A and B are shown apart, each in its own frame.
Chain A
Amino acid sequence: MVLKAFFPTCCASADSGLLVGRWVPEQSSAVVLAVVHFPFIPIQVKELLAQVQQASQVGVTVLGTWCHRRQEPEESLGHFLEGLGAIFSHKPWFQLCRERGSKSWSCKATHWQGPASPAASGEDQVMLIFYDQRKVLLSQLHPPTALPNRQAGDTTASAGGLAAVFDTVARSEALFQSDRFDEGPVRLSHWQSEGMEASILVELAKWAAGPVCLFLACLLSLISAASACRVFKLWPLSFIWSKLSTCEQLRHRLEQLTLIFSTQKAESPAQLMRKANMLVSVLLDVALGLMLLSWLHRKDLIGQLADALIPVADHVAEELQHLLQWLMGAPAGLKMNRALDQVLGRFFLYHIHLWISYIHLMSPFIERILWHVGLSACLGLTVALSILSDIIALLTFHIYCFYVYGARLYCLKIHGLSSLWRLFRGKKWNVLRQRVDSCSYDLDQLFIGTLLFTILVFLLPTTALYYLVFTLLRLLVVAVQGLIHLLVDLINSLPLYSLGLRLCRPYRLAAGVKFRVLEHETGRPLRLLMQINPLPYSRVVHTYRLPTCGCHPKHSWGSLCRKLFFGELIYPWRQRGNKQD
């Protein structure tokens, strides 16, 4: 039977001593965590291991001996090491040996039957697997299936062979606190022996994080209390707030900031990553917003924009008027119903006239408004983009109105036509049974019904054309708004911290492991190097995506076409509806 011994690369150059780690019987593998150097007192070693076991819930024991020989093999050391097997009994007892300066290793695993019959002990083959202890300690496995809970105990942690190794190393922090250079009773060698790692900035940031978080949490709770006050719940204001995407975006950001600066510690690594991602996303947003602001102010674009806004709105209105004049004539060679055409055309023209007057009324205040709006870019690029989207919606409000009029008219006509068509065939819609039933009509009912049906059919092209034109315009505006929302969603949901971590410290996010066979000589045990296989970028984005206030269209292309055909109104951004989901 082949036993596996996971050996840390940092201990490969350590002096002789005892191997300390965990034995996993289900996988027949031993995970070596540290090496205890001579001289030591066995009682103290056992005490230390008991302490570590209590603190970390990992069954840490003495697994065997480690011998790093010089040129002349020392006979007494060999016998001494073998004698240790009697003091720290463990089945199987590992004896790893390395010649100094060479790459040849030897290892034996014996089942110690007793001092009386050493010849009866069986030997098993051992496979050495080297692992980088620091990287395995810091990394986080992302298996396709979820691991069992940490607090469940020692036995459940052995599910999933290699996950057990990662789990063991990660939970044995208590063992790595003392080092061979410390003055304690027991001198250990592990990954910290290569040099204690700490960063002053990180420590200062941790120390400062407490009061800063408290202060910001209070501030944010004040702001959210103010925004939740009763004044804003009154009907006109609440309706406006729910329609503007800016308010949605601000609310989303407020929620995220509250989560980041909450005084509760993150429970799991996933939550910590989420907080970090949110923080980086907010910081990037604000940075981009400030860049935009400085660019706008440098070229005095706000003034130019304000000056250009009124002529642009006028131009749009003029183009719409030209369009309506074209529709009122003979558009694309089609012959329209004169009377209905004139009625609809004049109605819409009067609307445009009202709109132009409204714009001219607002013109003195435009520059002020735009300047204040430009200031809001310092809250973030996403806020600026949402405001842009809202401004577009406000400026094209007349197109929206025309679309609604056209759609309602068309919808009425279609329903009327379908109902009268059923009458024409002698059928009726049964509301109770939700199906079409046959029905006997009187003669005068049939006569009037057929007459109305004919009228509606002949008026259909005109209404349909107006509906088509205004729907296309509305879809164009919706597409532009949609692109802006897509960009906002991208900035909101991209997990930049995780991507940065994957780029700079790929071992932190592990999809699995990979093995490499090291130089092998016959007669020597097989040596493998276990390295961490990092998570691919697509899986990083998929796993750590931030939830957005994503108003994704709820319907598919098929249902959209169906709604367009029947003249039902389409609402691409269900902002209010999302909150209730």
Chain B
Amino acid sequence: MEDEQSFSDICGGRLALQRRFYSPSCLEFSLSCPRITLRSLTAVTCTVWLAAYGLFTLCENSMILSAAIFITLLGLLGYLHFVKIDHETLLIIDSLGIQMTSSYASGKESTTFIEMGQVNDVVINEAIYMQKVIYYLCILLKDPVEPHGISQVVPLFQSAKPRLDCLIEVYRSCQDILAHQKATSTSLEGGDKIISASNRRSHSGMGAYWHRQEDRR
């Protein structure tokens, strides 16, 4: 089943969060970034062409104008193919792993898949970004050497940069699936730990993730 909600990102642009619920163990979140606007495109093109015309009046060489057209076209293609992200998708499959896909405006997709065995936890962290303090969702990876240590932090939704309300939605659903996964994996090892693990994980209030971060420090 699908549902769509609209949120805003840290700069105030509109974001659309689409959630697809395939089964209790498989969930997909798709966050679409604000599109490229005609206004910004026109502004950039006009600036480049005015600068080229200014150079042309100085140098009297018509190659500059054709070069400016080339540069604008190539720049736009390069921007659409390498820089502008259209939407970011997070797919969580219980007992398999977590997959992040970024789709660019030209249709190119770049995917990363992290196996469930490497995932320690999914948390919301704070960061200082330019002059702001923002929240971001990230995956903590397990350290192969130390069982409870963290080797790497993988941030999610880096281009969309949603605000806390959107992040909490995603966080809650991720924690439900992770809790279920941890419960089944611990049930393979020993029965007593299940109850305590699921009790800890089923906290879905806002205060809970602060707790968890303190534990990790």
Chain A residues packing against B (C-beta within 8 Å) = 1-2, 4, 28, 125, 127, 129, 145, 160-162, 512-515, 517, 520, 526, 528, 533
Contact = CB atoms under 8 A, between A and B. Distances in A.
Contact of A162 (B93, B94, B112, B115): B115
B117 interface: yes
19 contacts: A1-B187, A2-B95, A4-B96, A129-B96, A160-B115, A161-B116, A161-B117, A162-B115, A514-B99, A514-B113, A515-B113, A517-B20, A517-B22, A517-B26, A517-B28, A520-B22, A526-B22, A526-B26, A533-B113
A161 B185 CA distance: 14
Nearest to A512: B113
Interface of B is mostly: strand
Contacts of A517: 20, 22, 26, 28, 91
Contacts of B26: 127, 517, 526
Interface of B: 20, 22-23, 25-26, 28, 91, 93-96, 99, 101, 111-113, 115-117, 144, 184, 187
| Central interface residue in B91, B113, B184, by most chain A CB within 10 Å | B113
A28 B113 contact: no
| Central interface residue in A4, A125, A160, A526, by most chain B CB within 10 Å | A526
Contact of A127 (B20, B25, B99, B187): B25
A513 B111 CA distance: 9
B131 to A, nearest CB: 33
Contacts of A127: 25-26, 93, 95-96
Contacts, number: 52
Contact of A145 (B20, B95, B144, B184): B144
A127 B181 CA distance: 14
Nearest to B20: A517
Contacts of A145: 144
Contact of B91 (A161, A512, A515): A515
B23 A28 contact: no
Contact of B99 (A515, A520, A526): A515
B115 A161 contact: yes
Given A526-B22, A526-B23, A4 B101 contact: no
Contacts of A125: 25
A513 B96 CA distance: 11
Nearest to B28: A517
A512 B112 contact: yes
Nearest to A528: B93
Contacts of A2: 25, 94-95, 184
Contacts of A162: 115
A533 B95 contact: no
Given A28-B95, A533-B111, 6 more contacts: A127-B25, A127-B93, A515-B113, A517-B20, A526-B23, A533-B113
Contact of B25 (A514, A526, A533): A526
Nearest to B1: A522
Contact of A514 (B95, B101, B187): B101
A164 B198 CA distance: 29
B144 A520 contact: no
A145 B96 CA distance: 19
Contacts of B111: 514, 533
A513 B116 CA distance: 13
A145 B117 CA distance: 14
7 smallest CB-CB distances across A and B, nearest first, come from A514-B111, A526-B23, A520-B22, A512-B113, A161-B115, A2-B95, A1-B184
Given A127-B25, A145-B144, A4 B113 contact: no
Nearest to A515: B99
Nearest to B94: A2
Contacts of B95: 2, 4, 28, 127
Nearest to B25: A2
A517 B23 CA distance: 11
Contact of B23 (A513, A515, A520): A520
A129 to B, nearest CB: 8
B186 to A, nearest CB: 12
B191 to A, nearest CB: 14
A528 B25 CA distance: 12
Contacts of A160: 115, 117
A2 B184 CA distance: 9
A254 B26 CA distance: 57
Contacts of A129: 96
A506 B93 CA distance: 25
Nearest to A533: B111
Nearest to B184: A1
Nearest to A514: B111
A303 B92 CA distance: 70
Contacts of A515: 91, 93, 96, 99, 113
A526 B21 CA distance: 11
Contacts of A513: 113
A517 B187 CA distance: 27
Nearest to B144: A145
Contacts of A528: 93, 96
B91 to A, nearest CB: 7
Contacts of B96: 4, 127, 129, 161, 515, 528
A514 B90 CA distance: 12
| Central interface residue in A514, A520, A528, by most chain B CB within 10 Å | A514
| Central interface residue in A2, A161, A162, A517, by most chain B CB within 10 Å | A2
A526 B95 CA distance: 13
A161 B20 CA distance: 26
A1 B182 CA distance: 11
B49 to A, nearest CB: 33
A162 B96 CA distance: 9
